[in-house]
C-alpha cells in the first residue's frame, strides 16, 4: 500500500515539473509596442513553429499584404515589416483590425482550424 502511495506522489511531482518545463529559456513575441502590457509576452518560436506547422515557404499566410480595397494580394508578402506597421493599437479607418486582435486572430484562427497549437490565453501568455 505504501508503495502505491509513493508512486502517486512521484507521478504528481512529475506532472508538476512538466508544467514547469516552459519556464526555461523561451522565445516570445516582441510586445514593447503595447503601453504597459497586462500579460506576459506570448511565447513564439518562429522557426520551430513553422517547422511544426509545415508552413515551408508560404510566409504570406501571416506576412500578408492587403490593397486599398481590403483585398489580399495573393503573390505578395511582407516579411520585412512589423505587424504594428499596418495594425495600430486602436482601430483606424485604414485598418480595421487593431494590433492585439490581429495577433490573437492570426494565431487562434489557424490553431482552431488545424486543431493544433495553443488557443487559451494562458497557453501563450505564460507566467514565468
Partner 1 sequence: MHSFINFIMGPMVWISFLIFFCGVIFKLFQVIKQVNEKENFIYTYLSVKHSFRSIFAWMIPFLPVSTRKSPVFYTVSYLFHLLLFIVPIFLLSHVALFEESMQWSWMTFNDTVADTLTLIVIFSLIFFMIRRVVVPEVKFLTRLSDFFFILIVALPFVTGFLAYHQFFAYKWMVITHVISGELMLILIPFTRFSHMFMAPLTRAYTGSEFGNVRHAKDW
Q: Which of 58, 27, 54 is nearest to 124 (CA)?
A: 27
Phi, psi of 48 (to 5 degrees): -60, -45
14 near partner 1, rule: CB under 8 A: no
Nearer to partner 1, 64 or 108 (CB): 108
Task: Give me 90's grid cell.
Answer: 486602436
Which region, judged by CB under 8 A, interacts with partner 1, from 41-49, 52-60, 74-82, 101-109? 101-109
39 near partner 1, rule: CB under 8 A: yes
Which region, judged by CB under 8 A, interacts with partner 1, from 48-56, 64-72, 74-82, 102-110? 102-110
13 near partner 1, rule: CB under 8 A: no
d(CA 68, CA 71): 7
Amino acid at each position: 500500500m505504501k508503495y502505491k502511495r509513493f508512486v502517486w506522489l512521484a507521478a504528481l511531482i512529475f506532472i508538476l515539473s512538466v508544467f514547469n518545463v516552459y519556464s526555461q529559456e523561451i522565445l516570445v513575441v516582441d510586445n514593447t509596442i503595447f503601453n504597459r502590457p497586462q500579460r506576459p509576452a506570448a511565447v513564439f518560436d518562429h522557426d520551430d513553429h513553422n517547422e511544426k506547422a509545415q508552413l515551408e515557404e508560404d510566409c504570406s499566410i501571416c506576412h500578408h499584404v492587403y490593397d486599398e480595397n481590403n483585398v489580399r494580394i495573393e503573390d505578395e508578402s511582407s516579411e520585412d515589416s512589423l505587424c504594428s506597421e499596418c495594425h495600430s493599437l486602436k482601430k483606424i479607418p485604414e485598418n480595421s483590425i487593431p494590433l492585439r486582435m490581429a495577433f490573437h486572430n492570426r494565431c487562434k484562427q489557424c490553431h482552431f482550424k488545424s486543431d493544433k497549437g495553443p488557443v487559451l490565453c494562458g497557453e501563450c501568455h505564460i507566467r514565468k
